[in-house]
Structure 1
């Protein structure tokens, strides 16, 4: 039996190897936050649990590695930026596998959003959703929480949501009181 204590982070790499030209830069920010001893940002990175594959690997080899990483996860942190919905290979595959096979809750983090997301999700953010996520939420196949790119709220979501403690709704939001408690204005 696989121990499922990791957080799987999904993002659109846009076929880039330059980390400044895709959402991998946000993934690298999280790794930096984690490496700082004085920070609360601590998670078990599912990507560290499985050997890396080369960029030149065949799609099926990459997918096998992604499945292994997702299988070892308790939740998924999906980074959504301007190009995420245009990814037509790995991001939809990761979302569908996480939802349908592993039943993971998804923490949806909008990488260019600096404001609280309360009451409802603005249309400008809904337009960024990958179709695989949108369909799963519409059919109540997944439980999600939608948050901005703020370290404290990401830490809170990683603590709050896992396989055994899923968000209550397909499209969940933190209440204003959670942001107030975290001093996020």
Structure 2
């Protein structure tokens, strides 16, 4: 297997050709945190480790690139918004492969949330494949708000070859989220 050092970011493109109209905008936010030299937000991005493909590429080309990137990944960050689809996006394929084939710990980041204390209360955002893997407990996941400190802490804490969430619905404690100023 490839050198597994990367962080794979997954989100729903929402069937949009314009990335500003899809959940890509949240991934772009993460990229801006990384580019901002005054912020301490560094990680190895799995998307930088494989050849770029466009959403107009053939489906099998996209899937091949996804598998290459997942094989090089140490964890997956799944960005979920209220618009995330239950089925019909490549996000479902990414989650399925991340859990079933590559055994990646999941960092499930919810946009528009200041804190996360009950993942189940946010289950309406879960794609069907994530719901299935949470319900059958094959997913090892921590659920967090889409906020810089929480994302960076989770990236630094969880990896395929290190510490993993101990179940499918882990959270940072109320006390930790209060310390971060989220509550």
Please indicate the TM-score interval, normalised by the length of the shorter structure. Answer: over 0.9
Partner of residue 128, structure 1: 125
Q: Is residue 87–residue 128 contact of structure 2 (8 Å, CA) maintained in 1?
A: no
Q: CA deviation at 1:17?
A: 2.5
Structure 2: how far apart are the matches of 1:135 and 1:55? 26
Q: Is residue 46–residue 73 contact of structure 1 (8 Å, CA) maintained in 2?
A: yes
Q: CA deviation at 1:138?
A: 0.6
Pick which of 48-57 and 29-38 moved more. 48-57
Pick which of 60-69 and 78-87 moved more. 78-87
Give the structure-1-normalised TM-score: 0.93
Moved over 6 A (4+): none
Q: Pairwise CA RMSD of aligned residues?
A: 1.3
Structure 2: how far apart are the matches of 1:7 and 1:42? 11
- Are 1:160 and 2:169 counterparts? no
Q: Is residue 84–residue 91 contact of structure 1 (8 Å, CA) maintained in 2?
A: no
Q: Secondary structure at the match of 1:127?
A: helix
Q: Is residue 13–residue 89 contact of structure 2 (8 Å, CA) maintained in 1?
A: no
| 1:1-185 mapped onto 2 (5 Å cutoff) | 1-114=1-114, 116-118=115-117, 120-121=118-119, 123=121, 125-163=122-160, 164-185=162-183
Structure 2: how far apart are the matches of 1:63 and 1:147? 27
Listed as ranges, the gaps of 5+ residues in structure 1 are: none
Q: CA deviation at 1:50?
A: 0.5
Q: CA deviation at 1:122?
A: 5.5
Deviations 1:5-46 (A, max 9, x none): 100000011122222201000000000000011112111110
Q: CA deviation at 1:102?
A: 0.4
